[in-house]
């Protein structure tokens, strides 16, 4: 069979290959990017879905508007306003089938083959794959613990005049990095100065462990004149409520939103009305604050346990910044005292010892750092985390 040329731009992810090994009995996995299913508010979701079926069975089970189910758009706009994006109205956003679909719609609407897109190095693997599928030429901007290096980003924008800049400013996947307030404002200024679309992908912003992070770039855009016209913001209920609902959203300027809606029409017509009607009732019932408080507390404990265990068990063989939110520890093998320094090699040895994680190389669009790795603390409890890290130490 002759497949489309665009498939030549992508390959099955190395992570997917690794996941095949996870079926091994007794393995402790730090590899997934999933939230912990034990934390789903099943009772709240059951009530919300019952309400949806009792109150509006027709709407919940019928075809719906491509832009999204209006009561959900209203709830999501209110949710964004509660987080400081004070001027978001329901018509400023569309509901998407997970935020992953928002990224796909951005690819479809913005990228012609050969267009340049700047991403962080490292960044979300599915974004790399998705943008490449549309023929993007990806340029990688360096990231430190405070997010993307904005001086370097400006140089890259000036040099390459990209179609867009894709960032995960808050507890990035995989970097865990938290972009500072100053850098957020600077990125918005760059968007205006160079008339470049900036995409803020924000599925993890609500998962903070101590102090709340700086406001999203969406919230800050009111302080940087003109920046809202160059900003798309993607949100998701996946990491805080349930990924199986497949409810995400995108706030974007009207013309971009209209084109994305048109493309969504040909793609899935609309996001599941039943899922949307359920999510709308869940948000309206006011359960989200308690749910967020619960998941923050559990992930905070696990992040701390993983950080402590890594420092204790692996010592100077590994470097990382203790995450302040999100689901991941992003680490670098130092190679100290002749210890292993290659993430992929370490991953193989770790599987033999009964623990899995993802090596860092696939998360780079260019110039990978082979010594990096991503460890998720989300799905194992504290005892399993400690046991898993002990096994990691045996694989060094
Ligand atoms: C940075 C980032 N963006 C988007 C997504 C997609 O999430 P969803 O489609 O479930 O909203 C993920 C999921 O892992 C992610 O890590």
Question: Distances from the Cα of 31 to the Cαs of 17, 24, 238, 275, in angstroms?
Answer: 12, 13, 17, 28
Residue 372 pLDDT more than 70? yes
Q: What would the pLDDT profile of 296-312 be if each residue is shown by its tens digit? A: 999 999 999 999 999 99
- Rounded to an integer, what distance in angstroms lies between the CA atom of residue 307 and that of residue 323? 8
Residue 221 pLDDT more than 70? yes
pLDDT at 15: 67
Number of independent structural domains in the chain:
2
Residue 183 sits in the same domain as residue 260: yes
Judge if the beta carbon of residue 68 lies within 6 A of ligand 1. Answer: no
Average pLDDT over residues 83-100: 97
pLDDT at 355: 96
pLDDT band at 194 (very low <50, low <70, confident <90, very high): very high
Cβ atoms 110, 164 nearer than 8 A: yes
Q: How does strand 318-320 pair with strand 328-333?
A: antiparallel
Q: What would the pLDDT profile of 130-153 be if each residue is shown by its tens digit? A: 999 999 999 999 999 999 999 999
Asked which of 253, 287, 321 is the last residue of a domain, the reply is 287
Cβ atoms 234, 268 nearer than 8 A: no
Ligand 1 centre and the CA of 103: distance in Å?
9
Place of tokens 């370490």: 346
3-class DSSP state of 41: coil
For a ligand 1 pocket test, name from 96, 102, 126, 179 the mutation site with the most ligand atoms within 8 angstroms of its C-beta. Answer: 126
- Rounded to an integer, what distance in angstroms lies between the CA atom of residue 325 and that of residue 315? 22
- Rounded to an integer, what distance in angstroms lies between the CA atom of residue 273 and that of residue 175? 34
3-class DSSP state of 74: helix
- Rounded to an integer, what distance in angstroms lies between the CA atom of residue 98 and that of residue 1? 31
Question: Distances from the Cα of 390 to the Cαs of 8, 219, 328, 358, 376, in angstroms?
Answer: 41, 42, 18, 17, 15
Residue 271 sits in the same domain as residue 316: no
Residue 329 sits in the same domain as residue 222: no
3-class DSSP state of 290: helix
> Sign of dihedral through CA atoms 394, 32, 213, 284?
negative
Domain of 74 in residue numbering reads as 43-287
Ligand 1 centre and the CA of 377: distance in Å?
17
Ligand 1 centre and the CA of 192: distance in Å?
26
Judge if the beta carbon of residue 203 lies within 6 A of ligand 1. Answer: yes
| Percentage of residues in the chain having pLDDT higher than 90 | 94
- Rounded to an integer, what distance in angstroms lies between the CA atom of residue 13 and that of residue 18? 9
pLDDT at 25: 83
Residue 91 sits in the same domain as residue 200: yes
* Residue bearing the CA closest to ligand 1, atom 13: 33
Residue 176 belongs to domain with CATH number:
3.40.640.10
Q: What is the dihedral of CA 299, 302, 308, 309, to 10 degrees?
A: -150
Residue 175 sits in the same domain as residue 90: yes
Asked which of 271, 287, 303 is the last residue of a domain, the reply is 287
Cβ atoms 313, 393 nearer than 8 A: yes
Residue 317 belongs to domain with CATH number:
3.90.1150.10
Q: What would the pLDDT profile of 1-47 be if each residue is shown by its tens digit? A: 999 999 988 887 666 666 776 777 899 999 988 999 999 999 999 99
Peptide bond into 122 cis (omega under 30): yes
* Residue bearing the CA closest to ligand 1, atom 16: 173
* pTM of the complete model: 0.97
- Rounded to an integer, what distance in angstroms lies between the CA atom of residue 92 and that of residue 354? 47
| Percentage of residues in the chain having pLDDT higher than 70 | 98
Q: Which residues contact 245 (CB under 8 A, 6 or more apart)?
A: 45, 237, 238, 275, 278, 279
Nearest to 236, CA basis, from 249, 217, 252 = 249
Asked which of 262, 287, 312 is the last residue of a domain, the reply is 287
Residue 88 sits in the same domain as residue 214: yes
Residue 109 sits in the same domain as residue 156: yes
Residue 64 sits in the same domain as residue 156: yes
Residue 314 sits in the same domain as residue 264: no
- Rounded to an integer, what distance in angstroms lies between the CA atom of residue 34 and that of residue 62? 30
Q: What would the pLDDT profile of 314-333 be if each residue is shown by its tens digit? A: 999 999 999 999 999 999 99
Average pLDDT, the chain: 96
Residue 235 pLDDT more than 70? yes
pLDDT at 23: 72
pLDDT at 14: 63
Judge if the beta carbon of residue 242 lies within 6 A of ligand 1. Answer: no
Residue 394 pLDDT more than 90? yes
Residue 376 sits in the same domain as residue 307: yes
Residue 256 pLDDT more than 80? yes
Judge if the beta carbon of residue 358 lies within 6 A of ligand 1. Answer: no
Q: What would the pLDDT profile of 328-357 be if each residue is shown by its tens digit? A: 999 999 999 899 999 999 999 999 999 999
Residue 175 sits in the same domain as residue 96: yes
pLDDT at 56: 95
Residue 138 sits in the same domain as residue 35: no
């Amino acid at each position: 069979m002759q497949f489309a040329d665009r498939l030549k731009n992508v390959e099955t992810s190395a992570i997917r290959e690794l996941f095949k090994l996870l079926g091994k009995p007794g393995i402790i996995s730090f590899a997934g990017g999933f939230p912990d299913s034990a934390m789903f508010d099943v009772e709240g979701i059951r009530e919300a879905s019952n309400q949806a079926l009792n109150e509006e069975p027709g709407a919940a089970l019928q075809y719906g508007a491509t832009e999204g189910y209006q009561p959900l758009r209203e709830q999501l706009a209110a949710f964004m306003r509660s987080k400081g994006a004070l001027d978001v109205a329901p018509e400023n956003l569309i509901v998407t089938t997970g935020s992953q679909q928002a990224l796909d719609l951005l690819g479809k609407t913005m990228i012609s083959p050969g267009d340049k897109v700047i991403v962080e190095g490292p960044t979300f693997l599915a974004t790399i794959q998705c943008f490449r599928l549309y023929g993007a030429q990806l340029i990688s901007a360096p990231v430190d613990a405070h997010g993307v290096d904005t001086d370097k980003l400006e140089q890259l924008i000036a040099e390459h005049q990209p179609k867009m800049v894709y960032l995960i400013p808050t507890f990035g996947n995989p970097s865990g990095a938290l972009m500072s307030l100053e850098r957020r404002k600077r990125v918005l200024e760059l968007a205006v100065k160079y008339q470049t679309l900036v995409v803020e992908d924000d599925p993890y912003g609500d998962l903070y462990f101590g102090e709340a992070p700086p406001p999203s770039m969406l919230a800050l855009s009111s302080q940087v004149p003109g920046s809202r016209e160059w900003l798309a913001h993607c949100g998701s209920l996946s990491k805080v409520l349930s990924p199986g609902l497949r409810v995400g959203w995108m706030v974007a300027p009207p013309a971009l939103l209209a084109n994305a809606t048109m493309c969504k029409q040909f793609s899935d017509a609309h996001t599941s009305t039943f899922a949307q009607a359920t999510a709308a009732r869940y948000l309206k019932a006011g359960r989200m604050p308690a749910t967020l408080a619960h998941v923050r507390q559990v992930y905070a404990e696990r992040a701390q346990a993983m950080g402590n265990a890594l420092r204790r068990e692996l010592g100077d063989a590994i470097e990382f910044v203790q995450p302040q939110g999100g689901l991941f520890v992003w680490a670098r093998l130092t190679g100290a005292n002749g210890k292993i320094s290659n993430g992929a090699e370490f991953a193989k040895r770790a599987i033999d010892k009964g623990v899995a994680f993802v090596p860092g190389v696939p998360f780079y669009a260019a110039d990978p750092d082979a010594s990096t790795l991503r460890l998720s603390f989300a799905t194992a409890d504290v005892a399993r985390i400690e046991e898993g890290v002990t096994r990691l130490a045996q694989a060094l």
